Structure 1
């Protein structure tokens, strides 16, 4: 553990100790985790055809159902997402916190099946989805819920003769990400969105035919302190933690702070969020 990690983990422990029995503890555990923010972003590009102008994509991530996040809470999230009337919904990994110990997949599938989008629902694996013998369990759950898995693959959304490419890379920690295979036959002229659970994969994705990367995994740090920022983030979410990053004029990364919590059931100055992306043609 380096000095930065040690200090951040120490501050986390300090926060928990100081918070016990106080209003701060109650807020961080019971209130802020339920305050879902709708974060709206416009994405401009001359590669976006006019047929996709105002096209809306909703991203949600890191629900971690089973760890202080219930299916009843998921129902509330689903109603919120459907109310946005998206053209497409994407989920960027970590559905259940501990897949092999979760036993309510029937209700979970029923809830996820309620999500609707004109051009479908897509998802990628996160490290928790592969962990705990969850790879096939989570895939079956998402298949039964009407989601399409993008695992080192891509799909084409067509509007007349114009197209939008949506690609998905396998999890960077427990999977086998393959950029070459994922983006095979994708032209540099195609506007391409990549789903990648770990945001730090952007340093590799930037060298491929990708315009926008959507990620999760970091939880935005989950606990953020004034003048310090995030207290702790997991491996492969250490460089890009939350928000928008323009790596070069042709590549933008968006990191979603997720919905649920993991390790510690707290959020402080780091609300859960969904992203609503609106594509804007610059042609």
Structure 2
């Protein structure tokens, strides 16, 4: 079944929300403005989650997965900063690395691709590096450019397809990657083709708000980005800037479905877009440890 999607972004609503967030920060005063523009975007939360399910083979106990997302290189986030991020990810000693979309803010305008690829190549994970498309990866005629960058950097790009992560004893789990909801054509049925029903599966979807649809399939976890945690939040109000397909689930862990059969984790991402601010929505790396 092909997931229904809106083909055109509601740009006016998103820009209006971003402008409102800017006015809010301006109203907080110069201190809040400086913090949101210069301090919080350079901070980094490393959040940890245990992933436990009966379908996880015993040999996968302790396997470590690191997710990063939404770097938006070229918009207030540069390769000098990205180099530090690569170092930090490698220090976490992941077995698997997942990138859940939006590498460059405007792919056809980014001029440092020759320097970007070697940095991506430095990321090390013995069980593989995997990625999916975000809306910015498709935008700006970037679809082929993004694919070439990631595959040259030894990432497996999952486009409505699955990949088994196998250990030496023959045990395995599956990664299931679907296309972006805004500018792509996500297709869960195609992505799951040939994947055993009673296997442990992690779905990579840039857009978190596809979770209700994804929960109708025999999968256990979904990892997403896209929302930036709202990018600008206020106490008791919440996220002020949320994109299409990232408005309902903005950050952290959710249980989805009538029986809460799907666990959704939404990563706040690394960079910013449209507005160079983060307020109460710090950049994030997420470390998932498998438990049996």
Q: TM-score, normalised by structure 2?
A: 0.92
Unaligned runs of 5+ in 2: 1-9
Aligned positions of 1:1-283 closer than 5 A: 11-18=20-27, 22-159=30-167, 160-247=169-256, 248-281=259-292
**Mapped partners of 1:8, 1:88: distance in 2:** 36
Deviation sequence 1:143-173 (CA, Å, 0-9, x none): 1111110000111111213211011001111
C-alpha distance in 1, partners of 2:239/2:233? Answer: 4
Deviation at 1:7, TM superposition (A): 8.8
Partners in 1 of 2:113 and 2:55 — Cα distance? 40
Shift of 1:9: 5.0
Task: Provide the C-alpha distance between the structure 1 equivalents of 2:117 and 2:68, rounded to a whole number of angstroms.
Answer: 16
Give the gaps of 5 or more residues in structure 1.
none
Which whole-Å CA distance do the structure 1 matches of 2:225 and 2:88 have between them?
Answer: 19
Residues 199 and 236 in structure 1, CA contact (< 8 A), matched pair in contact too: yes
TM-score for both structures, normalised by structure 1: 0.94
CA distance, structure 2, for counterparts of residue 7 and residue 23 of structure 1: 23
Are the structure 2 counterparts of residues 96 and 41 from structure 1 closer, same or farther at C-alpha, using a change threshold of 3 Å? same
Q: Give the conservation status (yes or no) of the 8 Å contact 1:187–1:209.
A: no
Q: Contact 1:244/1:254 (CA < 8 Å) preserved in 2?
A: yes
RMSD of aligned Cα (Å): 1.7
Tell me the distance in 2 between the aligned counterparts of 1:246 and 1:204.
13
